[in-house]
Each structure stands twice: as C-alpha cells, then as structure tokens.
Amino acid sequence: MTKNYRQLIESVKGRINPDHFAMTKSFSDELSTISYSEVLTYVRLAMKSVEPEYTKKSKDAGERVKEHLSKELKNVSFKYQGSVMTNTHIKGYSDIDLLTISESFYQPDKGSIRRLLNNAEERIRFFSSLPKLEKEVSGNSYQGNALEDLKSLRIDSENILRQIYTNCETHKPKSIKIKNLSLNREVDVVIANWFDDIKSVINDKGEYRGIQVYNKITNSREDADFPFLSIKYINEKNSLTNGRLKKMIRFLKNSKANSSFDIDLNSFDINAICYDIKTKEYQNLSFYELVPVIYNQMKKIANDNIFADNLVSVDGKEYIFRGNNSKKDNLRKLLAEIEEIFIDLKNTLRI
C-alpha cells in the first residue's frame, strides 16, 4: 500500500472527533466488520459525519451571537450558511457563518427581469409569472443609500460584539469573527442584503433568494451568492441517495485535508464535483464502491475539457472550471490522492 492508513485514520479521528466522544453503537459495529482492512476503515471514517455533539455547539454559538445582535439591531434578519447546514463539515470544532441581512431594502435583478419582459418568447414561457416579474421592476426604488445602510450595520454589529466577546476580530473585509470561549467555537458574522433574480421571483423567493455580502474595505457589495439554494439542493439529493452524496463530499474534504500538497479547492468546488454525479450511478452502492465513482468523476473532469468547462455549481449559477486552469491543476492534485486510495482498495477487495 502506498499510504500510511493507520496514520490517516488517526488524523481523521482527531479532526472529526477531537474530544473522543463515544461513537454510536451502529457505527462502531460497522467499523468492527471491516477492521481487517486499514484502507476500508480509513475510507469509512473519512465519509463519516461529525458527531452531533460538536455540531450542536457550533449552532449554539451562532444562536448566542444572533441573540446579542437581535436585541439591539433593527430591520435585520438572520440566516446561516456553509457546510454545517448540510452536515458536510469535517471538523469537530467547526465555525459557523451567521448572515446578518438588512431588511431596509433588497436588490432585484432588474436588468435581467427587464430583458425577459421585453422578449416575446420569454414572456410566453413565463406567462404565469409575468405579474410577479412586472411588480419587481415597476415598484418604487429604494430612496435610501444601500451602501450607507450596510456600512452602518457593519459598524453597529462590530460595536455590539466587541462589548461582549474578548476575542473579536473586526479587520476582515467581509466578516466579523468572534470566538465563544465557553463553547470553544468561532462564528463569522457576515453583513449582507437580499438579492432576487428571476428564479427567486418566480418561486416566491424563500430558499431561492440570493444575498450580496458587504465588503467594508472597498465599501461595496460582492456579486450575488445563493447559499440557501445550494443547501436545499444538497440536502434533497442526499435524501434521495440515503446519505451517499454527503459521504462523497466528506471523503473528498478529508482527502484534501490529509494531503501533503496545498490543494486550492474549497467546499463550493467539492460540492459541485460530487453533486454533478448522476444519482443512478451511486444511489445503491456500498460506501467503498463510492470511491471508484468519485475517482471516475474527477478523472473525467481532469481529462475532458468540454466536460470540465460545463460543470456548474450546485446552485447552477457559476462554472467551476471554465477559464480556470489553476483550479483544474488543483483538481489533478486531489485526483492523485484519490487514485492512490482507489488502487489500494482494488488490491484489497479485488474490485
């Protein structure tokens, strides 16, 4: 075998369960049936979710911050984003992102909506939704100053959190980072406003809404993100595959974390790689049979430029690899890690 799986097993255990909580009996029993093989044990652990005791503390830390902010801020709402919300995080001590969203205004994508309304074919296609779309562009525009509102919200949030948390970093452009010392968890507080594109409007907003994050250094708003749509899609597809989608995501994240190379792929990229795989290819497979599925997906991305260039994010809004050769190079680094594990599995199981 090419890898030191005993060492990798301890690395994953230390990452997902640093306080050594007792694992559930069903999972312990499952591990005991494959204990004869270190590579099998590693793969199964690398696919495992963080123990719920850790996730609860991350969410509790976020709720405490939300409680402090909601007591003093006006016209705001709060939402969470990130891996904790899909249970694809791989660290017991995971931080959590708390979006603090201004309710003083929202930003409809008026340009795209107007283009649709001026296109005869599109008007026929979206006929039942025309009143909703027309309302977004015919309504009164916000008379305040959006950037000033977001700037004030950022300053007010910083002042509130500084008084409560001794560990409070305010220099980052897009977030305020606090650490709850009693729970040993960090929370990133992100200031944002709502953004509604065509899909959001025709679906009555909700989980389809996007956000624009405020950058205090540039005093500007970032391009729109759609984190709630990604959370929705990952959770739904994972349910259809009885947990297998999230197992693959965690496996890639742990493989990246265990690599001796610096692999510049983030959760957004890894989610897209796994989400793109057709459900029918893995929905009934055993955990170790997921490794060839992941390997084949990554190999196709690495070798087929057309396929790579057309792979999109979970929310369908961005191309992951198009025009980004550096990201493809990082994909190949992670592929090399997966290939070693795949070969060792084949030699162990003769698959």
What tens digit of pLDDT does each residue of 248-257 get?
999 999 999 9
pLDDT at 105: 95
Maximum separation of any 2 CA atoms in the chain, in Å: 68
- Looking at the structure, tell me whether residues 93 and 110 fall in a common domain: yes
Q: Does 47 reside within a domain?
A: no
Q: Which residue has the higher pLDDT, 29 or 264?
A: 264
Is the pLDDT at 216 greater than 80, yes or no?
yes
State the Cα–Cα distance between residues 189 and 156, nearest whole angstrom.
Answer: 12
- Looking at the structure, tell me whether residues 108 and 73 fall in a common domain: yes
- Looking at the structure, tell me whether residues 246 and 206 fall in a common domain: no
- Looking at the structure, tell me whether residues 241 and 281 fall in a common domain: yes
Q: Does 325 reside within a domain?
A: yes
pLDDT at 351: 56
Average pLDDT on 30-53 reads: 92
Contacts 24+ apart (CB under 8 A), 268-271: 268/230, 268/313, 268/314, 268/320, 269/320, 269/327, 271/86, 271/88, 271/230, 271/234, 271/313, 271/314
DSSP-derived secondary structure for 242-310: TTHHHHHHHHHHHHHHH-SS-----HHHHHHHHHTS-GGGTTT--GGGHHHHHHHHHHHHHH-HHHHHT
Q: Does 341 reside within a domain?
A: yes
- Looking at the structure, tell me whether residues 334 and 244 fall in a common domain: yes
Average pLDDT on 107-125 reads: 97
Average pLDDT on 237-258 reads: 97
pLDDT tens by residue, 169-203: 999 999 999 999 999 999 999 999 999 999 999 99
Q: How many domains does the chain have?
A: 2
pLDDT tens by residue, 316-340: 999 999 999 999 999 999 999 999 9
DSSP-derived secondary structure for 169-204: E--SSS-EEEEETTTTEEEEEEEEEEEE-HHHHHTT
> Residue 148's domain spans which residues?
54-225
Indicate the DSSP class of residue 215. Answer: E
pLDDT at 285: 97
Q: Which of 210, 225, 240 is the last residue of a domain?
A: 225
- What is the tally of helices (H) and strands (E) in the chain? 15, 7
Average pLDDT on 29-41 reads: 89
pLDDT at 1: 59
Q: What's the chain's average pLDDT? A: 95
Indicate the DSSP class of residue 126. Answer: T
Q: Which of 203, 225, 247 is the last residue of a domain?
A: 225
- The CATH number of the domain holding residue 115 is 3.30.460
Is the pLDDT at 283 greater than 70, yes or no?
yes
Is the pLDDT at 110 greater than 90, yes or no?
yes
Burial of 68 (0-12, 13-18, 19+ CB in 10 A): middle
pTM of the model: 0.94
Is the pLDDT at 350 greater than 80, yes or no?
no
